[in-house]
Structure 1
Amino acid sequence: MKKTLTLLSFLCLMVTGLFAQTLGIENVQRATLRNSAAIREGSEVKGYYFFYVSDKIDKRTYEYTLRITDNNLATLKDVKFTDSKYVQVLESSFNGTDLIFLFYNEKERTFEYQTYGADGKKKFTYTRELSKKETKLLELTYLADEEDTYKGLYPVEGQGFISNMPSREDKDFTFQVDFFSTEKRKQWTYIPTEGAKKHVGDYLGTANGVVYMGVLEYGSKMDQKPDSYIIGLDMATGKKLFQNATDNGKYRYYPSSMNVVGGKAYIFGEYFDLNGNIIKDKSSGFAFLGIDEKGKIVSEKFNSWDLQLGKFLDVSSKGRIADFGYMYVHQIIQLADGDVYAIGEGWKKQASTLGIMSQVASAAAGGGGRGMAAAIKIKITDLIIIRFDKDFNVKGAQVYAKRDNPIELPQGVGLAAGPALAKMIKYNYGGFDYAYSQVNKDRTAFSVCYEDYVKDKENDYKGQTFNSISFEDGKFSQDMIRTKSKATSSVVMPAQQGKVLILEYFKKDKRLDAHFEKLN
C-alpha cells in the first residue's frame, strides 16, 4: 500500500517556480468561508484549502471542489466530486496532517464525515444516521443561523478528529462524542445516558491518550443548579476512564478549556464558592489545574479577581472588570522563558430594546410575553492579555480597546450566566472578535489577531479592520490593516510570519479572491 505523503514532503516536491501570491477562483456557485482555512504545522502555515460548489450538474446534483495550495497560493491539487443538491457542508477542520468535512444530507437525514490527506487524496468516510429528534437539534447548532458559527469538530493532531454534538435518548437530553481516525479506518462513540435527565458535554481537549470532557448533569428539565464533572475517555477505545466532580473541598470550578503547557495537561476556567451555582453565580476568580491521565488534580493555582488580578486591573470581587465586563479566555500561550499569557475578551449583559419590544408585542397578541428575542443582549467589549509566570502567578495585565459589538440573543438564552453563557456566545453565535494567535518557532514571540470596526474621520475611513497585538523582545506592539471591501463576505486567515491572507467571496460575481496583506 502506498504511503500518503506527509504535508511537508508533499509541498517540497512541488516545483519552485509556482509563486502565485494571489488566487482567483471563478464560477463559484456557492461557498461558505468557514470551509476554507490555513494548513498549519503548529503555528507555521504550510498551505491552504478552499472548498466550494463549483458547478450545478442538474436539478438534483452539484459538483464540489476541494482546492489545496501551498503557502504562496500556488495550486497543488483540485479534488472534484458530485453529490446531491440536498447535501451541505456544515464544518471542516485540519489536524496537522489531514482534513475532515462534515456533510449533512437533509433528505436522507445523514451525516457523512469525509477525510482527506493533505495531498488531497481521500482516505476514509464515516456515516451517521440521525433520528428525527437529533435532526431537530440541528436548529440549535449548525442550522441556528446563517453565519455558520457552530463548532462541533475538534482536531487531534496527526490522529483524527473528535465530534461533539447534542443528542436525544428517549425523552432525555444528552450528547454524543465520536472519534474518527485518519490513521486507519476506526471509529468509536460515547453517549452518557445514566444518572441525570439531561447531560451537557463540552470538549476540553486531548492529551496523553485521554479525551477530556466537561459535563453538566441536570436532575430534571427544570433543574437550575447542575452537578459539574470532568470525565476522561480512552483515546483508543472511547471507554470512560474516570468521572470526577469539579470541586476540591474549598472551591467549585467550571472547566472552560484545556492546554498542554510544558508537556503537562492543564484545565483552566473560572472558580466559585463551594456551594455556588456555576451557571448563575458570578465567579471568584481564575484557576489553573494540572490534571493527569487518571483525572487526578496534581496542581492548583487560584487567582482571585479582587486580590491577585485586582493588583493589575480595576476589577470587582465578582469578576467584573471596569468598562470591560467579564472575561472569556480564548487562548493560553507559554513561551520558552516559561511565562504564560492568557488571551481574553470582555463581554457584558445589557437590556435589549428589540427583545423587550418583541415580548411586549407577543403579550399583546396573547402569546404570554414570549417573544422571539431575549430581553437582554450581549455587548462584546475589549481584548485583554494577562501575563503569568511559570507557576501561574500574575505578573501583569493590559486591556486593548476596540469597538463594542452587540449580540442579540434568542428567548431563554439570557437566563444563563458566567462562563456557560460566554461559551455559547463564542461557539453558537460567533460573537467574539478574536480571530487567532500565532507563536514563532522558538517560542520567543507571538501575535494575537482580532477584527474591529472603526470610524476614522481624520483619514476618511469607516469600516472593518483586522488588528494584531505582537509580543517580541519583551515588548508589545500593535498594527492594523483596513479590510473594507465590496465582497459578500470575507475572512482573514493566518499566513507566514508578518502577513495575513484575506479571502473574499463575491456571490453575485460567483468568485473567490485571496491575497496577502503585510503586518508589522
Structure 2
Amino acid sequence: MRKLLYVLLFVGTYMVSAQSKTIENMVKFKVKDSGSFLDDANDVDGYYFFYEVDKLKKGMREYAVNILDKNLNDVALKKFIASKKSVLAANAFNNEAILFALFDKKAKTLTLKGFDKKANPKDDIIVTLDKKVVRVLKAGLNLGNLNNLLYPVKNKGFILVLPNFEGKGTGYSLSFYPSNENEKPWTYEFVPREKRGHHQITPVALDDKFVVLTDVRVKGMSAKREFKTVVLNSQTGEKLFEKLYDKNDPKLITNAFISEDGKISVMGQYYKPKAKIAKAQSLGLYTEQFDEKGEVLFSKRISWQEDVSKFLPVKKNNKLKNIGYIFFHDIIKTQSGEYYGIGEQYKKTVSALGVASGILAAAAGGVQTGGYTQLTIKDVYMFKFDKDFNLTDVQVFEKGKSRVQNLVDYGSPQLSAYMIKAIGGFDFVYSQRDVKRDRFYANFIDYERGDKKKKKNKEKKKSRFVFKTIIQDGGELSVDNVELPKQSRYFRVLPAKVGHVLLLEYDRKKKSSSLHMEKLNIN
C-alpha cells in the first residue's frame, strides 16, 4: 500500500448505522482540502470542504467553503472569487474559526481567508512573500509537504510558519493572527548568524500559554545536525527558554504535550555522546518536563537494552530484533495518570520502484529525482508507562506492510521517518479520546495481503483494506477490524463523533463527493 495524500478505499459491509451525504458541483476538489472540526479529545463538532465550483473570465475562479455539522447536516455554504493561480497550501481550525492559506506563486502572496463555524467570512489577510520563500513553498507543494505551514491556537488564533532569509543562513518566522478581538497579533523571528546554518522548525505542542518548537540546524549536506527545543509565550511571542541538545547530550525530540497545570513535557530518543543523529542508532527513549522558566522538573531515560528488552527482543547494537524502529505518533494520558505511547514499526529498505526509476532515468540521459530507498511500515506497538514514566508493558498488534518512498536517501531511518510523518506517509490516521468513559481509540489503515497460492484444503485469503481501531478501556487493549474493500476512486478516512468514522469518496466524473458516516463495532 502506498499512502501519501490519498487513501484508495471504499466503504465495506461490516459497518452499521450509516449516515450519508452527497456534495455536488465540485468542478475541482482534492480530498486533502477537507477536514473535521476537532476538540482537545479529537471529538468532532463538524466538517469543512473547500473546492472550486466555476471557471470565470480573466483567469478567475469561484470557490466554495461548505460546512456541515457532526451529523452531516448543512450548516452553511459560502462562495468567493480568487485567481486560478491560487492553490490551497494549508488550512487549520482552532475551535472557533477556520483559516485557509491560498498561495499565489505568480503574485507572490499568501491570502489568509478566515471563516467562523457558521461560514461567516472574516477580513482577508494578504502576506507578501520574498522570492526565496516562494521557491520554498513551490517545492513543498510539489512534494506534498506543506503540513508545517499553519497551526491553530485553540480559541485564540493561528500561527503561520515561514522561512526567513534575512540572516547569513536560513532562519524562520512565526506570525500569530488572532481570530477574535481579545487577542493581539505578534511575530517572532529567528535570524541565524552562521553562514551555513539552515534551520528547520516544527511546532510540536501549543496551547493558550505556550508554543513548543523543535529546531533542527543543518550544516549543508553533511550529517552534522544540532537539535534544540524552543518555547515561546503564545500570547506575546516572547521566547521563554530554549534547550540545546549538544554533542555531549544528543537527542531527537519528536513529541511534546502541555499539561493542564502548565508543565511542558517533551519526548524523543537519546544517543551516546558525540553521536551523529543523522546516522547513529539511539540508546533508548527519553522524556523531560520543564516549568515555564525552563527549569527541569523531571527527566527519564528508557534504555533499549535495560528496559525495553524486558518486553521486546533487543540486539547488542540497540536495534530491535526483527523489528527495526518504532515511530511514536501520539502520547495519551489516561485519567488514572498512566501514559500510552502509540507507535508504528518501520524499517529503511531499498525501493524497487526507486531503483527502476533510476535505471530508466540513466538510460534516458536524465537524473533520478526520487529516492532509491523507502520506509517499510508494519505492526502497531503500544507502550504503557506508569505516572512516573516507567515502562510497564508493550503490546503488539499485527498489521500488513505498507511502503512509502523516502524524500531523500541520506540520513538515518529515524530522520527519514520524521520527514515521512510530515507528509502523512504512515498508516496511523488519528487518535481519539472518549473522556466520559475514560477510553481512547488509536486508528490505522491496514492492508492485509492475501495468499499468493491456495493452501491445501484451505480457502485462499484475499487481500483487503482494513480500518483498524485499537481500543483502550479500563487499562485493557482490544482491537476491532473493519473491512474496507479497495476501489479505484479517491478516498479519505476522517475523524467522526466518538465511536464513528467518516469515509469521503470523490467521483471525478460526476464532480461530487459522497460522505458515509459509519458506526464502529464497539460497545
Common fold: TM-score over 0.5: yes
Count how many residue pairs are aligned between Structure 1 and Structure 2.
493
1:143 partner SS: helix
Q: Is the 8 A contact 1:92 1:100 kept in 2?
A: yes
Structure 2 distance, partners of 1:432, 1:317, is 28
Amino acid of the structure 2 residue aligned with 1:506: D
Deviation at 1:328, TM superposition (A): 1.0
1:141 partner SS: helix
Change (3 A) 1:167 1:31: farther
1:201 is aligned to 2:190: no
Deviations 1:109-152 (A, max 9, x none): 1111222211212234322222222121124423314xx67342
Change (3 A) 1:207 1:512: closer
Q: Is the 8 A contact 1:124 1:182 kept in 2?
A: no
1:169 partner SS: coil
1:286 is aligned to 2:280: no
Structure 1 distance, partners of 2:310, 2:244, is 31
Partner of 2:254 in structure 1?
A: 256
2:282 partner SS: coil
Query: Which shows bigger deviation, 475-484 or 30-39?
Result: 475-484
Structure 1 distance, partners of 2:316, 2:339, is 23
Partner of 1:464 in structure 2?
A: 465
Amino acid of the structure 1 residue aligned with 2:216: L
Deviation at 1:29, TM superposition (A): 0.7
1:372 is aligned to 2:372: no
Q: Is the 8 A contact 1:34 1:92 kept in 2?
A: no
Structure 1 distance, partners of 2:281, 2:139, is 26
TM-score (norm 2): 0.87
1:499 is aligned to 2:494: no
Q: Is the 8 A contact 1:213 1:230 kept in 2?
A: yes
Structure 2 distance, partners of 1:267, 1:258, is 4
Amino acid of the structure 1 residue aligned with 2:426: F
Structure 2 distance, partners of 1:237, 1:452, is 43
Change (3 A) 1:189 1:418: farther
Structure 2 distance, partners of 1:51, 1:438, is 24
Partner of 1:437 in structure 2?
A: 431
Amino acid of the structure 1 residue aligned with 2:505: E
Deviation at 1:319, TM superposition (A): 5.0
Deviation at 1:442, TM superposition (A): 3.3
Q: Is the 8 A contact 1:304 1:317 kept in 2?
A: no
Partner of 1:16 in structure 2?
A: none
Structure 1 distance, partners of 2:255, 2:127, is 27
Query: Which shows bigger deviation, 329-338 or 24-33?
Result: 24-33
1:161 is aligned to 2:158: yes
Deviation at 1:459, TM superposition (A): 8.6
1:212 is aligned to 2:212: yes
Q: Equivalences for 1:176-195 in 2 at 5 Å? A: 176-184=173-181, 186-195=184-193
Partner of 2:6 in structure 1?
A: none
Amino acid of the structure 2 residue aligned with 1:210: F
Q: Is the 8 A contact 2:381 2:395 kept in 1?
A: yes
Structure 2 distance, partners of 1:66, 1:149, is 20
Partner of 2:339 in structure 1?
A: 340
Structure 2 distance, partners of 1:479, 1:58, is 51
Partner of 1:61 in structure 2?
A: 60
2:132 partner SS: helix
Amino acid of the structure 1 residue aligned with 2:420: I
Deviations 1:71-112 (A, max 9, x none): 110101111111111112122111222211111112211111
Deviation at 1:168, TM superposition (A): 3.0
Q: Is the 8 A contact 2:286 2:302 kept in 1?
A: yes
Partner of 2:388 in structure 1?
A: 391
For structure 1, the 5+ residue unaligned runs are: 1-18
Deviation at 1:366, TM superposition (A): 7.0
Q: Is the 8 A contact 1:487 1:505 kept in 2?
A: no
**4+ residue runs over 4 A deviation:** 357-367, 456-461
Q: Equivalences for 1:124-135 in 2 at 5 Å? A: 124-135=123-134
Query: Which shows bigger deviation, 450-459 or 46-55?
Result: 450-459
Query: Which shows bigger deviation, 135-144 or 315-324?
Result: 315-324
Deviation at 1:171, TM superposition (A): 6.0
Structure 1 distance, partners of 2:221, 2:499, is 51
Partner of 2:109 in structure 1?
A: 110
Partner of 1:152 in structure 2?
A: 149
Partner of 2:267 in structure 1?
A: 268
Partner of 1:514 in structure 2?
A: 515
Change (3 A) 1:398 1:140: farther
2:312 partner SS: coil
Partner of 1:23 in structure 2?
A: 21
Q: Equivalences for 1:282-431 in 2 at 5 Å? A: 282-316=281-315, 319-359=318-358, 371-410=368-407, 413-428=408-423, 430-431=424-425
2:61 partner SS: strand
Structure 2 distance, partners of 1:208, 1:103, is 26
Change (3 A) 1:143 1:175: farther
Deviation at 1:492, TM superposition (A): 1.1
Partner of 1:448 in structure 2?
A: 442
Amino acid of the structure 2 residue aligned with 1:396: D
Query: Which shows bigger deviation, 378-387 or 58-67?
Result: 58-67
Partner of 2:489 in structure 1?
A: 488
Deviation at 1:493, TM superposition (A): 1.4
Identity over aligned pairs, percent = 30
Residue from 153, 173, 198 that aligns with 2:170: 173
Structure 2 distance, partners of 1:20, 1:120, is 26
For structure 2, the 5+ residue unaligned runs are: 1-16, 452-458
1:97 is aligned to 2:91: no
2:314 partner SS: coil
TM-score (norm 1): 0.88
Structure 2 distance, partners of 1:463, 1:470, is 21
Partner of 1:14 in structure 2?
A: none
Q: Which structure's relative contact order is higher, taking Cα pairs within 8 Å and 6+ residues apart?
A: 2
Amino acid of the structure 2 residue aligned with 1:40: L
Structure 1 distance, partners of 2:396, 2:375, is 19
Query: Which shows bigger deviation, 432-441 or 415-424?
Result: 415-424
Deviations 1:211-247 (A, max 9, x none): 22121234x4244322222222232232333233126
Deviation at 1:283, TM superposition (A): 0.9
